[in-house]
Amino acid sequence: MSMTAAAKMTAVRIRLGEIAAALALLSVGCSPDTTDNQTPTKTPTVSAGGAATATAGATSTATAGAAGASTTPSGVFSGPGVGTAGASKPVATAAGSGGPKAGAPPAPAVGAAGAPAPATAGAAAPSGAAGAMADTTPPTTGDGPPLPAIMGECPEFRDGTIMVAGHKSIQIKAGAAGKGGPLLFYWHGTGSSAAESNGFPGNSEIISSGGVIAAFNGSQSSKQGGDCSGTSAHYKADFNAADQIAACAAKNHGIDSRRIYSTGCSAGGLQSGCMAQVRSSYLAAVAPNSGGVVFPQAWQDKHSPAVFTQHGGSSDVVIVTFSETSATFDMSAKAHGSFVVNCDHGGGHCAAPAALKKASWQFMKDHPWGVTTSPWASGFPADVPSYCKIY
């Protein structure tokens, strides 16, 4: 082997060592906080048919670092480009057309997926807007989105761990049925678990209003369909489980289908950004925390969820720079028609302050499916941090 080749091999080995060390940091900052902590308790595993089981290998509700935590990957970020097969699945409507329901509000104009947005990145909210919102709360009624067809048996929505569409461990927390609460999908960071969702500030409100929180234990994924982030923390086939949960929760638990949201940290924040694109038909809003997209996907349809990205600026780096993955997602979403807010808290990876996490939940609540003009366009609520800007 020539000296030049040997030197190159040495450089590659050093770089791979740096990458492996950095990947181990993906879980840092993703552990649950106590903003709105609901202490996880051991609960029965619920099968797709809803019956409690005691089958060998069944899992209990995850606790931080317990069963269900994914392992740190050995590879680097890699994955498909725009329009990769498996990025979306057909949705069913009453008319069977796959389009919005009759009478639904018109979808925003479509831009080229991933095309650069106009030079307005970082634009501040309108002058004097903070706290100026008045009578702009979106309506609580109206036609919902076209939901995926129910495939097989529905799970039962009660506190516990369910298995759906090949995913073996999804932590469910649910309020009383029939109250029209929201549905939140939560995706944890690499090396973490579904218990990470226990720190989300909207938990109590979601449960008290009859909603459902579905948090995915990535290590129990079917591991099919490719990976949005390159970390192997979650997979695209996990969205099939999300489809079944959304359709069944609307039918059997009475959630408000106009209020289906997604969030998560790090690899989970990247999964949330990916879900916004490949499940744009029914997601109302997403709020990735140190997320966005590494590999932009083709948008599922003309609808575009509202987007609230949170990142730590130049200090938010683990293999990739999350201010850049957030901007990549923001540009694609804005071009597609989303209302986008970008928040640079400057505090590092997955380190969104409590006030920002609270603002992310308020943003999702204020942007149900079908709202064509954001109530935030004319001004942010008073308690939203000043570093949040309309993108």
User: What percentage of the chain's residues is helix, strand, coil (to nearest 5)?
Assistant: 25, 15, 60
Q: What's the pLDDT at 143?
A: 81
Backbone angles phi, psi at 22, to 5 degrees: -70, -35
Q: What is the CA radius of gyration of the chain?
A: 20
DSSP 87-132: S------TTSSSSPPTTPPPPPPP--TTPPPPS-TTPPPPTT-TT-
Q: What's the pLDDT at 141?
A: 57
Of 116-120, 156-160, 235-239, 273-277, least confident by mean pLDDT is 116-120
pLDDT 10s digits, 335-361: 999 999 999 999 999 999 999 999 999
Query: Of the candidates 358, 365, 352, 303, which has an alpha carbon nearest to the alpha carbon of residue 326?
Result: 352
CA distance 165 to 241: 5
DSSP letter (8 states) at residue 390 = E
Confidence at 101, pLDDT banded by 50, 70, 90: very low
Mean per-residue pLDDT, 243-249 = 98
Q: What's the pLDDT at 111?
A: 35
| Cross-strand bridge partners of residue 164 | 167
Answer yes or no: is pLDDT of 228 > 50.
yes
Q: What domains can be seen in the chain, in order of their start residue?
A: 146-390 (3.40.50.1820)
22, 319 contact by CB (below 8 A): yes
Q: How many CA atoms lie within 13 A of 279 on its CB side?
A: 28
Query: How many helices (H) and strands (E) in the chain?
Result: 6, 13
266, 30 contact by CB (below 8 A): yes
Confidence at 192, pLDDT banded by 50, 70, 90: very high
Nearest 5°: CA angle at 231, between 339 and 168? 90
Q: What's the pLDDT at 139?
A: 52
Mean per-residue pLDDT, 147-155 = 96
Mean per-residue pLDDT, 293-321 = 96
pLDDT 10s digits, 46-69: 333 333 333 333 333 333 333 333
Question: Could you tell me the two tokens for 76?
Answer: 């680097």
Query: Of the candidates 361, 1, 386, which has an alpha carbon nearest to the alpha carbon of residue 201?
Result: 361
Q: Mean of the per-residue pLDDT values for the chain? A: 76
Q: Higher pLDDT residue, 261 or 22?
A: 261
pTM of the model: 0.70
CA distance 279 to 90: 10
DSSP 229-282: SSSSSS-TTHHHHHHHHHHHIIIII---TT-EEEEEETHHHHHHHHHHHHTTTT
CA distance 258 to 143: 8
Of 76-85, 157-166, 193-202, 316-325, least confident by mean pLDDT is 76-85
Give the count of beta carbons closer than 10 Å to the beta carbon of residue 207.
Answer: 18
Given the structure tokens 């459902």, which residue do they identify?
212
Q: What's the pLDDT at 142?
A: 65
Percent of the chain at pLDDT exceeding 90: 62
